[in-house]
């Protein structure tokens, strides 16, 4: 029995440090309501967007904490441990994403600040004069966010298992605490906690990449062990049959990342366009850290790590348990746990904003006051977290990272309306709806066909919704190649949108009126249109100028 193991198998030292750091960030979460406190926090701009006044440093930690989550510390190494080189897809996609979205996000920031948009659905509502398409964007964002929050809860569960904590009660307690300080402080809570989260993660990964390779005998030993394990599979290099899946997965994930409502929420909370430019230029530094974290999966192979039960998500916590002193394990486990809570809070807030602005205010109570909107958003953020727990229970993917990839297939269907819509209004609003229906329908069907197969026996373990790698053989093609389901679905969406737009324009169906102006996409802080926007237009979510 380890020296620090309690009578119930709980690792006392690790658990004590974990709980202590968890309490620190909990206190910070509640105190965040006083940080840069406005006269009235009960306004969606304040509760849901932090007052739209975050500078470069706060935005750096907020967006970094938003994008680099339990997915980073738990899911990616688990995929590397279980599937080999395919897990590296996360590195190239986070490298290419920032140049891709540089111009897109500053345009979105400008038009949102001029017009008072809180969500991407607000923009679609105004740009295409389509409450129906805005509703579809809102529902898509909420549904896609559920499995992403679920992934964060899986990260917390993994470290609890490593500490010997069994049962659902600790996760429920963490969930309740997260819900309470999110309800109280809004976006200010994860923005403040993100400073602690990133400091712990950087400390943990720097120590890990120095200490663990030394203890294992060097990188030659680590890569040699990985190559030996995957000698009949992908190994440390991709086989030719895996390259199509890898490329489409990386590209599709890059397209999806800043379509997620939580990513957009972090951007809209920035105080000006220059803050976004600086962050899009500097955030690739996180990609270096992500690449190093991914290698923890190979280190776990070399260390002979055995996951707890059959849960590959526990390989990193178990690796730390074998390699570090108990006190440092407590810090590392806290880094993972807090690294899950920060994005989970932002995701819940973003989904709540979508429900409040684009469902509640648009269809349930058009005359809702800003104070009523904020109250509804607070309650909605609690409901979203319950949906995330349901996602864990019903999806049960092979690798926890599939929760994020399945969400990516869904959120990609907003690309034509949101991302392309920032540059052109050529798409007909009815064409966008037709494209969304086609893309979402095909995406769900593609995910439905994905099976989980035992790599040893070849037996089918799960018939449907077991990941996002669609087999081209399902289309009657004699091949073993697979492709990211989201890539096919968004191509179907774009094709149908273009064809339907041509048809509807030739039929001269009304295309609606663009509620934005050309200059709106270039406005910056200090522009008179950005200031003095006191009144919200009823039922539309636009501010009077």
Q: What would the pLDDT profile of 349-391 be if each residue is shown by its tens digit? A: 999 999 999 999 999 999 999 899 999 999 999 888 777 766 6
pLDDT digits (tens, 9 = 90+) for 399-451: 567 777 788 999 999 999 999 999 999 999 999 999 999 999 999 999 989 88
- pLDDT band at residue 455 under the 50/70/90 scheme: low
Please compute the mean of the pLDDT values over residues 135-150 and round it to a whole number: 91
Q: Which pLDDT band holds residue 287 (cuts at 50, 70, 90)?
A: confident
Q: Would you state the pLDDT for residue 480?
A: 85
Are 125 and 358 in contact, with CB atoms under 8 Å apart?
yes
* pLDDT tens track for 19-65: 999 999 999 988 988 887 776 677 888 899 988 889 999 998 888 87
Give the C-alpha distances (Å, rounded to integers) separating 280 from 100, 140, 273, 419, 472. Answer: 10, 25, 11, 16, 35
* 56-70, 158-172, 241-255, 489-503: range with highest mean pLDDT: 489-503
What is the structure's pLDDT at 534? 38
pLDDT at 122 over 60: yes
What is the C-alpha separation between 103 and 80, in angstroms, rounded? Answer: 33
Who has greater pLDDT, 504 or 289?
A: 504
Q: What is the pLDDT of residues 79-115, one digit of tens each?
A: 899 888 888 888 888 888 988 888 899 999 999 999 9
Mean pLDDT across 525-535: 60
Instruction: Tell me which architecture the domain covering 12-103+114-254+273-396 has in CATH.
Output: Up-down Bundle (1.20)
pLDDT bin (cut points 50, 70, 90) of residue 5 is low
C-alpha span between 255 and 93 (Å, rounded): 9
> What local confidence, expressed as pLDDT, does residue 251 receive?
94
- Take residue 13 and report the two structure tokens written for it: 């030292």
Indicate the burial class of 321 (C-beta count within 10 angstroms; 0-12, 13-18, 19 or more).
Answer: buried
Between 2 and 59, the higher pLDDT residue: 59
Q: How many CA atoms lie within 13 A of 537 on its CB side?
A: 13
**516 secondary structure, DSSP code:** S
- Whether 319 shows a pLDDT value over 90: the answer reads yes
Q: ∠ CA 347-448-346 to the nearest 5 degrees?
A: 0
- Whether pLDDT at 186 is above 70: yes
Residue matched to tokens 């966008």: 432
233 has pLDDT over 60: no
Condensed to tens digits (0 to 9), the pLDDT of residues 483-492 reads 999 999 999 9
Mean pLDDT, rounded, for 310-324: 90
- Per-residue confidence (pLDDT) for residue 2, from 0 to 100: 47
What percent of the chain stands above pLDDT 90? 52
- Measure the CA dihedral 39/41/45/49, to 10°: 120
Residue keyed to tokens 């929760």: 403
pLDDT score for 133 = 97
C-alpha–C-alpha distance, residues 418 and 59, integer Å: 22
CA nearest neighbour of 153 among 172, 180, 181 = 172
Instruction: Compute the mean pLDDT over every residue in the chain, rounded to the nearest whole number.
Output: 86
Torsion of CA 441, 447, 449, 453, to 10 degrees: 180
pLDDT of amino acid 498: 98
Q: What is the pLDDT of residue 390?
A: 67
Average pLDDT value for residue range 265-279: 93
Strand partners, 536: 543
Per-residue model confidence (pLDDT) at position 6: 55
pLDDT at residue 452 greater than cutoff 60: yes
| pLDDT over 70 at 158, yes or no | yes
CB 114 within 8 A of CB 530: yes
């Amino acid at each position: 029995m380890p020296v620090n193991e309690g009578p119930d198998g709980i690792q006392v030292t690790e658990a004590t440090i974990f709980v202590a750091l968890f309490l620190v960030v909990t206190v910070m979460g509640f105190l965040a309501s006083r940080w840069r406190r406005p006269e009235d926090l009960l306004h969606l701009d304040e509760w849901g967007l932090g007052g739209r006044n975050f500078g470069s440093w706060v935005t750096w930690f907020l967006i970094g904490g938003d994008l680099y989550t339990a997915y980073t510390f738990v899911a990616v190494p688990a995929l590397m441990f279980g599937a080999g080189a395919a897990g590296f897809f996360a590195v190239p996609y986070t490298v290419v994403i920032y140049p891709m979205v540089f111009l897109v996000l500053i345009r979105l920031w400008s038009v949102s600040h001029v017009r008072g948009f809180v969500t991407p659905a607000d923009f679609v509502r105004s740009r295409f004069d389509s409450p129906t398409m805005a509703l579809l964007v809102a529902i898509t964002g909420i549904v896609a966010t559920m499995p992403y929050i679920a992934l964060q809860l899986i990260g917390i569960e993994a470290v609890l298992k490593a500490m010997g904590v069994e049962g659902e009660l600790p996760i429920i307690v963490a969930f309740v605490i997260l819900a309470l300080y999110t309800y109280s402080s809004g976006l200010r809570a994860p923005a403040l906690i993100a400073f602690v989260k990133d400091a712990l993660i950087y400390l943990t990964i720097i120590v890990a990449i120095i200490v663990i390779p030394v203890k294992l005998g060097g990188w030659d030993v680590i890569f040699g062990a990985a190559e030996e394990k995957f000698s009949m599979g992908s190994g440390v290099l991709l086989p030719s049959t895996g390259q199509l899946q890898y490329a489409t997965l990386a590209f599709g994930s890059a397209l999806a990342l800043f379509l997620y409502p939580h990513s957009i929420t972090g951007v809209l909370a920035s105080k000006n366009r220059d803050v976004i430019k600086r962050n899009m230029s500097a955030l690739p530094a996180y990609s270096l850290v992500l690449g190093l974290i991914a290698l923890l999966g190979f280190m776990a192979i070399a260390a002979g790590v055995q996951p707890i039960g059959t849960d590959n998500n526990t390989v990193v916590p178990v690796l730390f348990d074998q390699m570090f002193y108990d006190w440092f394990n407590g810090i590392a486990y806290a880094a993972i746990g807090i690294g899950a809570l920060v994005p989970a809070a932002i995701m819940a807030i973003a989904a709540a904003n979508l429900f409040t602005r684009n469902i509640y205010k648009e269809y349930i109570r058009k005359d809702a006051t800003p104070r009523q909107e904020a109250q509804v958003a607070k309650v909605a953020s609690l409901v979203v977290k319950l949906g995330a727990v349901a996602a864990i229970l019903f999806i049960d993917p092979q690798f926890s990272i599939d929760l994020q990839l399945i969400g990516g297939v869904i959120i990609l269907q907003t690309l034509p309306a949101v991302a392309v819509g920032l540059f052109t209004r050529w798409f007909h609003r009815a064409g966008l709806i037709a494209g969304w229906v086609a893309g979402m329908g095909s995406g769900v069907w593609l995910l439905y066909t994905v099976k989980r197969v035992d790599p040893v026996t070849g037996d089918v373990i799960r018939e449907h919704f077991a990941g996002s790698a669609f087999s081209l053989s399902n289309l009657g093609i004699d091949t073993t190649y697979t492709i990211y389901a989201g890539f096919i679905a968004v191509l179907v969406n774009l094709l149908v949108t273009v064809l339907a737009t041509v048809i509807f324009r030739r039929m001269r169906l009304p295309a609606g009126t663009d509620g934005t102006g050309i200059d709106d996409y270039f406005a910056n802080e200090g522009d008179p249109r950005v200031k003095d926007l006191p009144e919200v237009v009823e039922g539309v979510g636009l501010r009077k100028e």
